[in-house]
Structure 1
Amino acid sequence: MNIKRILFLALIVTFVYSCKKDDGGSSIPPTPPRLLSEVAVENDAEIKTFLETHFYNYEAFENPTEDFDYRIVIDTIAGVNSEKTPLIDQVKIEVVKVSTSDLRLGAEAIVETDIPHNLYYLIAREGEGVSPTSVDSVYVNYQGTALSGDIFDSQIGAPVWFDLPGLVNGFRKGITKFKTGGEVQENGDGTYTVPGSGIGMLFIPSGLGYFNGSATGKSYDPLVFEINLLAMKSSDHDGDGVITALEDLDGDGDLFNDDTDGDKFPNYMDKDDDGDGVSTRDEIEIDAEGNVTFPDTDGDGIPDYLDADTK
């Protein structure tokens, strides 16, 4: 199962309902999705219970042997493992506000706004490189499971490039907590090693994941991702010379609500951001080393490429 396809589809989730007519000609109305606020509380309780009753092989990361594969192994705190430090004491939390409009749930959904969701992340090894933004492209090994441990997708040992804007919110935001590895090393057998890469896990409530989708086998299911961040590159989706990270003008991680000229094309997909008939590329300056500056010809505090009054 391809995570890129699943995660992208999760952002534009649509539903096909079958309507059954009775003898009187009436039909059964479609069942609306559950309340986002209700599921958020339920998922958080499920994730907390898991974190309180499980641990990971932190001792192996603290004192790695030469043959250690740097894979995270989760086990239950019980028996000989009863004294292990639980995950709940090792994870960090970021609170992310989610609205029904973010999940594209359709007209049947009851509208809710800014419902807080706890995104839990575990850093087993931070990484020695740089952290991506939520709109960059990343090269990762990963494995996705439900809290039950059932695997629904995996690219362990076969890293792939992901364009983060196409992935679910929890993955996009969570991976920014890690750093990339060091210089890529060729092993001489056609394989490559990236030392010092960022390794950890994400524990994602369904409101930051697939919500009422069934990628894990059931709806409203929290997600767990094992992450190994190897490399990243800044994206320029529209090729206008302004990297996508800078097209998120309000810094909220949502590229779709930044549309300077109101033409229904967000800036990161618009080659003329201010709609003045002059391309963005012609209103910025890029030197021989690739450094970008943003002229403000009329001195009004708005760079030319975002200011329709200057050409």
Structure 2
Amino acid sequence: MKYGVLVFICFAVTLLSCKNDDNGGPEAIPPSLLSDVAPEDDETIREFLNTHFYNYEEFETPPEGFDYRIVIDTIAGENADKRPLMEDAESITLNVSSSFLGLSAGEENIAHKLYYIEAREGGGESPTYADSTLVRYEGSLLDGTTFDEGNDFQWFDISRIEVRGFANGYAQLKTGTLDQIVENPDGTYSFNDSGIGVIFIPSGLAYFNRTAGSIPSYSPLIFKLELGTFVPDTDHDNDGIPSIEEDLNSNGVLADDNTDADQEPFNAIRPNYLDPDDDGDGIPTRDEISDENGNIIIPYPDSDGDGVPDYLDPDN
């Protein structure tokens, strides 16, 4: 990767632009509001989707030697009759709070729309945003500038993804299957039935007011994706609870679910999906959800019947 743009920084430090005031000193310019930028981004992305197309005809009737790569171009000239991206695009809405981006604006649950197109349906299943997934990708700006790409498949999971919309986007697609994997002459490998698609991410689900490498602030992003396979019910801390189940508030963010946050030192904060003792009671989570033979008990035990399972209840 060129700039390591997919390295996870959960609560990143916000960088403020500066300008000279009347006295010649620096004056901090506060970040724009999520509530202002989100509709602007959506309008920009929708305009792009209505004025551009992808090589859908090649995906519908693959020519000999087709590499199954998505190519996006402008609807104009000899391409004036092409079907716009918007006709194939689907969308999901995700809420973003300013605190998640390290901002102090106090905005909560600002709706952001992510668009995606499934160019080829994979032969497998869809991962969740919390599952470790084998992905080949290319990231670009709306003007076509490529800022990051992986020419071979790489494993990604939520613990190393900074662009929140990346994982939420690939979770809308299906992966390939292991019985369709092919080793190439150059030592790389591919899947005959991989899932292929493209996602369009508003800046609030990416870097928002920050810059990253060649990515300017407030930039919507495009990622072309190919999904190989994934690890179902990925368990990052091996505590017996799938990471997707550790999103206790179901807001699509794992980093803000931390049952024992008040007991953890500032320099050792571990959200539940990375914490083998979620309630901080000294008893490993796995022990609190397993029988004497090590088998996980479903539903998870709740000894005092208060509706809180033992592994989240330090009183038990």
Residue of structure 2 in register with 1:251 after alignment: 250
Separation in 1 of the partners of 2:16 and 2:29?
11
Correspondence list, 1:284-295, <5 A = 284-285=289-290, 293=298, 294-295=300-301
Residue of structure 2 in register with 1:115 after alignment: 110
The alignment status of 1:159 with 2:153, answered yes or no, reads: yes
Stretches of structure 1 lacking an aligned partner (at least 5 in a row): none
Among 156, 163, 170, the residue aligned to 2:165: 170
Amino acid at match of 1:49: E
Q: 1:17 to 1:73 in 2, by over 3 A?
A: closer
Among 285, 298, 306, the residue aligned to 2:312: 306
Separation in 2 of the partners of 1:145 and 1:224?
5
Percent pairwise identity:
48
Q: Give the CA RMSD over aligned residues.
A: 2.7
- Shift, 1:78, TM fit: 1.7
Amino acid at match of 1:120: Y
Separation in 2 of the partners of 1:120 and 1:244?
25
- Shift, 1:223, TM fit: 0.4
Stretches of structure 2 lacking an aligned partner (at least 5 in a row): 265-269
Correspondence list, 1:110-149, <5 A = 110-149=105-144
Residue of structure 1 in register with 2:183 after alignment: 187
Amino acid at match of 1:159: F
Q: TM-score, normalised by structure 1?
A: 0.87
Correspondence list, 1:1-311, <5 A = 1-2=1-2, 4-9=4-9, 12-15=12-15, 27-105=25-103, 107=104, 110-156=105-151, 158-167=152-161, 168-183=163-178, 184-187=180-183, 189=185, 190-215=187-212, 216-233=214-231, 234-262=233-261, 263-264=263-264, 265-285=270-290, 293=298, 294-310=300-316
Residue of structure 1 in register with 2:267 after alignment: none
Preserved contact between residue 13 and residue 213 of structure 1 (Cα < 8 Å) = no
- Shift, 1:229, TM fit: 0.9
Separation in 1 of the partners of 2:17 and 2:77?
48
Separation in 2 of the partners of 1:73 and 1:186?
23
Cα deviation, 1:38-75, whole Å, max 9, x if unaligned, reads 22122112111111111111111111234111111111
Separation in 2 of the partners of 1:250 and 1:122?
28
**Partner SS, residue 26 of structure 2:** coil
Cα deviation, 1:277-308, whole Å, max 9, x if unaligned, reads 21112112279998663233344443221233
